[in-house]
């Protein structure tokens, strides 16, 4: 009799527990964002209306050092949350847990956990530490009812499992990080939907928390194919971008997504190649002269870049932007097709004797390193990394034997890039490796900081 009476109550308890567990879940994440000496950002997406509590403990002694909660709006379409963890110690490891309380529930459940390590204060104390980071562009997850008919465009997503195993300092997403399709980019909701849906892919889970994630955008995660400054929903695209990434900063005065980020002795200028961009179809020249109206970054961002470069003492100064910059044979858009802006940048680098400039780009659906020789100046290089999971774009026509390409750097397969910075002060070496889905090196190139200085 007792057993018989207990059974329904146990059953009811289990049911309640299951309902609670079902609601108290993360939609996506946790994802590690901008992490530096004494702060870190941890991103999650919740079911709208639920509450997340972040608890951070010292890995060494298990002592709680930080706790914060956020309740999301029940009526919002989606509910991404970025926690700012502050007041941390330098060069220290922390464990964290994300507890979620579902809508209408009282008890939180642990919905995610991870670890992170703050940076080391090496300045004024010792040489800059060696480090590596990853980069990649063009990530496409199939969703057949909204995709173009025929062969699926998205490839093997297990590349993210390979990347999750890397012991890298951070990941730099180089644009086209998700692909807005026709059902997405005609509405504000659609732009949110795509970021929400692609971010929730389970195969990303380990990678997103394995290392800090930084991002710029290109046309497909900003708007439609080749979208430019005229894209009507660009303010909503910026909202989505800033809600789904956790960079240190995004532009100024509520415009653009550009910012500067540093890792050890290297600086990264994360450019916005869409918000201020003229149409790719605008004529590059007028009456034989560069068209002053055709710009990719726009005058305000260019002015910012120049000052940021002057302010940098880094041996390698990475200008990170979606479109290629130096490829004379590209049949597609390239900074050189914006001659006024390209010439302005080249004149600035010359006049101010800026050393160590390297471009890091995506978009092309293949990887390569392009060399741009300059008279009496050190050559410039553009490292293009693409695609992570989208279709392959094989080079054709005159680009096949592109004389500007560094030999043995063309990779026409899914890949990501691993860049390692090592060596003594004044002799730092940058090693670039294009890595396959399985973790094999498919192309490699190295350069010393000494080769990126004018004589």
- List CB contacts of 339: < 8 A, sequence separation 6 or more: 284, 285, 290, 291, 294
Q: How many residues bind Fe ion (CB under 5 A)?
A: 4
CA angle 219, 33, 415 (to 5 degrees): 55
Q: What does the block give as tokens for 201?
A: 């892919």
Would you say 128 or 138 has its CB closer to Fe ion? Answer: 138
Would you say 196 or 364 has its CB closer to Fe ion? Answer: 364
333 counts as binding Fe ion under rule CB under 5 A: no
Would you say 35 or 323 has its CB closer to Fe ion? Answer: 323
User: Minimum distance from CB of 323 to Fe ion (Å)?
Assistant: 7
Give me the phi and psi of 348, to 5 degrees please. Answer: -65, -45
Would you say 215 or 349 has its CB closer to Fe ion? Answer: 215
Would you say 29 or 223 has its CB closer to Fe ion? Answer: 223
Would you say 166 or 218 has its CB closer to Fe ion? Answer: 218
219 counts as binding Fe ion under rule CB under 5 A: yes
280 counts as binding Fe ion under rule CB under 5 A: no
- Are the C-beta atoms of 72 and 51 separated by less than 8 Å? yes
CA-to-CA distance for 367 and 413, rounded, in angstroms?
8
Provide the pairing of β-strand 377-384 with 357-361. Answer: parallel
Would you say 53 or 386 has its CB closer to Fe ion? Answer: 386
The three-class DSSP label of residue 411 is strand
User: Minimum distance from CB of 222 to Fe ion (Å)?
Assistant: 9
449 counts as binding Fe ion under rule CB under 5 A: no
CA-to-CA distance for 175 and 386, rounded, in angstroms?
10
Query: Which region among 165-173, 306-314, 361-369, 385-393 touches Fe ion (by CB under 5 A)?
Result: 361-369
User: Minimum distance from CB of 281 to Fe ion (Å)?
Assistant: 15
Would you say 139 or 429 has its CB closer to Fe ion? Answer: 139
User: Minimum distance from CB of 131 to Fe ion (Å)?
Assistant: 28
User: Minimum distance from CB of 334 to Fe ion (Å)?
Assistant: 12
CA-to-CA distance for 257 and 297, rounded, in angstroms?
11
- Are the C-beta atoms of 324 and 330 separated by less than 8 Å? yes
User: Minimum distance from CB of 380 to Fe ion (Å)?
Assistant: 21
User: Minimum distance from CB of 443 to Fe ion (Å)?
Assistant: 21
User: Minimum distance from CB of 448 to Fe ion (Å)?
Assistant: 31
218 counts as binding Fe ion under rule CB under 5 A: yes
- Beta sheet of 429-435, edge-to-edge order: 213-215, 171-173, 131-136, 416-422, 429-435, 441-448
Q: Specify which residues 67 forms β-bridges with.
A: 55
Query: Which region among 34-42, 49-57, 96-104, 219-227 touches Fe ion (by CB under 5 A)?
Result: 219-227
The three-class DSSP label of residue 64 is strand
Binding Fe ion (rule: CB under 5 A), the pick from 45, 176, 221, 273 is 176
CA-to-CA distance for 225 and 123, rounded, in angstroms?
43
- List CB contacts of 368: < 8 A, sequence separation 6 or more: 384, 402, 405, 406, 409, 410, 411, 443
Query: Which region among 18-26, 95-103, 218-226, 367-375 touches Fe ion (by CB under 5 A)?
Result: 218-226
The residue whose two tokens read 């600086």 is 267
- Beta sheet of 64-71, edge-to-edge order: 64-71, 51-58, 93-101, 109-117
Distance of CA 405 to the CA centre of its chain: 25
147 counts as binding Fe ion under rule CB under 5 A: no
Query: Which region among 32-40, 156-164, 313-321, 358-366 touches Fe ion (by CB under 5 A)?
Result: 358-366
Distance of CA 327 to the CA centre of its chain: 22
User: Minimum distance from CB of 71 to Fe ion (Å)?
Assistant: 37
User: Minimum distance from CB of 79 to Fe ion (Å)?
Assistant: 28
Would you say 101 or 415 has its CB closer to Fe ion? Answer: 415
Binding Fe ion (rule: CB under 5 A), the pick from 363, 368, 433, 449 is 363
Would you say 219 or 449 has its CB closer to Fe ion? Answer: 219
| Residues of this chain that bind Fe ion (CB under 5 A) | 176, 218-219, 363
């Amino acid at each position: 009799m007792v057993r018989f009476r207990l059974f329904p109550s146990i059953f009811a308890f289990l049911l309640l527990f299951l309902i609670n567990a079902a609601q108290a879940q993360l939609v996506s994440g946790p994802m590690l964002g901008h992490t530096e000496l004494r702060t870190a950002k941890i991103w999650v997406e919740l079911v709208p209306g639920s509450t997340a509590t972040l608890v951070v403990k010292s890995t060494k002694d298990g002592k709680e050092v930080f706790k914060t909660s956020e309740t999301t709006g029940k009526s919002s379409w989606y509910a991404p949350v970025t926690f700012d963890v502050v007041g941390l110690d330098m060069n220290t490891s922390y464990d964290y847990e994300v507890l979620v309380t579902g809508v209408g529930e009282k008890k939180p459940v642990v919905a995610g956990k991870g670890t992170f390590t703050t940076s080391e204060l090496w300045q004024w104390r010792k040489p800059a530490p060696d480090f590596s980071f990853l980069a990649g562009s063009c990530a496409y997850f199939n969703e057949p009812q909204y995709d173009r008919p025929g062969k699926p465009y998205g490839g093997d997503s297990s590349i993210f499992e390979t990347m999750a195993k890397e012991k890298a300092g951070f990941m730099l997403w180089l644009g086209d990080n998700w692909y807005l399709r026709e059902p997405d980019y005609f509405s504000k909701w659609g732009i949110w939907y795509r970021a929400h849906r692609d971010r929730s892919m389970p195969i990303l889970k380990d990678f997103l928390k394995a290392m800090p994630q930084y991002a710029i955008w290109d046309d497909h995660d900003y708007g439609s194919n080749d979208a430019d400054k005229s894209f009507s929903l660009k303010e909503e695209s910026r909202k989505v971008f800033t809600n789904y990434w956790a960079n240190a900063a995004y532009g100024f005065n509520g415009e653009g997504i550009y910012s500067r980020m540093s890792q050890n002795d290297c600086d990264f200028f994360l450019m916005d190649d869409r918000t201020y961009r003229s149409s790719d179809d605008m004529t590059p020249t007028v009456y034989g002269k560069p068209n002053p109206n055709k710009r990719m970054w726009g005058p305000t961002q260019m002015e910012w870049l120049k000052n940021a470069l002057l302010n940098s003492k880094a041996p390698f100064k990475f200008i990170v932007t979606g479109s290629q910059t130096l490829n004379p044979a590209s049949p597609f858009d390239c900074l050189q097709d914006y001659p006024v802006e390209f010439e302005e940048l080249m004149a600035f680098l010359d006049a101010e004797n800026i050393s160590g400039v390297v471009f890091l780009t995506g978009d092309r659906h293949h990887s390569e390193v392009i060399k741009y020789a300059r008279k009496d100046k050190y050559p410039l290089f553009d490292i293009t990394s693409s695609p992570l999971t989208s279709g392959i774009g094989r080079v054709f026509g005159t680009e096949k034997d592109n004389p500007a390409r560094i030999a043995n750097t063309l990779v026409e397969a899914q890949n990501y890039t691993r860049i390692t910075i090592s060596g003594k002060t004044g002799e730092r070496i940058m090693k670039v490796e294009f890595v396959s889905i399985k973790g094999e090196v498919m192309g490699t190139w190295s350069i010393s900081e000494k080769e990126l200085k004018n004589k």
